[in-house]
Amino acid sequence: MKPKIYVARAVFDDVLARLREHFEVSDNPSDQVGTPAELSARLQGQVGAFITGSERIDAELLDAHPQLKAVCNMAVGYNNIDVPACTARGVIATNTPDVLTETTADFGFALMMATARRIAESEHFLRRGAWTKWSYDMFTGSDIHGATLGVLGMGRIGQAIARRGALGFGMKVIYHNRSRLDAATEADLKASYVDKDMLLREADHLVLVLPYSSASHHAIGAAELALMKPTATLTNIARGGIVDDAALAAALARGQIAAAGLDVFEGEPALNPALLNVPNVVLTPHIASATVATRRAMANLAADNLIAALGFGPNAGRPPTPINSEVLKPTA
């Protein structure tokens, strides 16, 4: 008899078919995001779960399902998974790094540019029929080329954004991260390490690419926004909760910074309504990794992880991208 797994959200048919070769699959073709109780009910008897960032895996859920052996996230960020709780119970958790790096960096750059050059705001103006004449200062924004790019969180995606800024647009790149990059990588990216206050004070365009944790909760709030230049832009493609959205909406409304681009929100898919009332913000629904090719790569990597974690396929027992590899049996 095949082991049972739950695929918590709709996903590509061929990826489901790959999973069905090895497992008895329960899926969710309606793509409803279940409540924690519904997720728990669907996990009855399942040894593996294919999840996305919308499904929360915590100690209570794991305790209710001692048969669960693997939770495989179709996302690089894994703040939806209590990893220590998984590790303590011998449950392998996996994510999907690397396959989305360049796509997500493209989007971060695009959102930063749309924000600085007021693309969404001017399109709304045009669509509502408000364009009657050309004016010298109509929708004047700020330059990207030659400006100072600030990157908060210099992991894989942060570095890919820095590379675009330095090599493609002649930007001066400064960054802040928990740990400093080695000198060779800094030289390659033409990026200079600065403390967080300096990053906030100096950046013309600040992009957030750090993981969410209790330590990064509201890393950008009223005090941090107050340090930024009134001409600066802020782009968040990381996670909701890293920015205090209420403080940001207030700062945008009073012109404390010029504009913001947000792909992620506190409590998403709900939005702080104050953000809808300020014109100088570009809002997108968490789509930074959303190209067909990348979503396929993410889904296939999550499936590879689940297949291997449950002892099947060429990598049986060795999922390619584990988060808590200490749970895996040592190789002989």
By annotation, the residues acting in catalysis are 239, 268, 286
Residue with smaller CB distance to ligand 8YV, 74 or 323: 74
Residue with smaller CB distance to ligand 8YV, 101 or 148: 101
Quote the tokens at residue 28.
Answer: 């969710």
Residue with smaller CB distance to ligand 8YV, 177 or 321: 321
* Smallest distance, ligand 8YV to C-beta of residue 110, A: 15
* Smallest distance, ligand 8YV to C-beta of residue 227, A: 27
In whole angstroms, give the CA distance from residue 330 to residue 316. Answer: 13
Q: Please enumerate, as own/partner, the contacts of 268-273 that have beta carbons within 8 Å and a separation of 24 or more.
A: 268/240, 271/245, 272/245, 272/246
Which residues, other chains included, contact 197 with Cβ-Cβ below 8 Å and sequence gap of 6+?
227
Name the amino acid, one letter, at 252: L
Residue with smaller CB distance to ligand 8YV, 76 or 200: 76
Name the amino acid, one letter, at 236: N
Residue with smaller CB distance to ligand 8YV, 74 or 111: 74
Site for ligand 8YV, rule CB under 6 A? 52-53, 74-77, 100, 289
Instruction: Pick the closest to residue 299 from 15, 46, 21 (CA basis).
Output: 15
* Smallest distance, ligand 8YV to C-beta of residue 207, A: 15
In eight-state DSSP terms, residue 168 is I
* Smallest distance, ligand 8YV to C-beta of residue 152, A: 16
* Smallest distance, ligand 8YV to C-beta of residue 91, A: 19
> Helices in the chain by DSSP H: which ranges?
13-22, 36-42, 59-64, 83-88, 101-116, 119-127, 156-163, 169, 183-189, 196-202, 222-227, 245-253, 273-276, 292-309
Quote the tokens at residue 52.
Answer: 């996305």
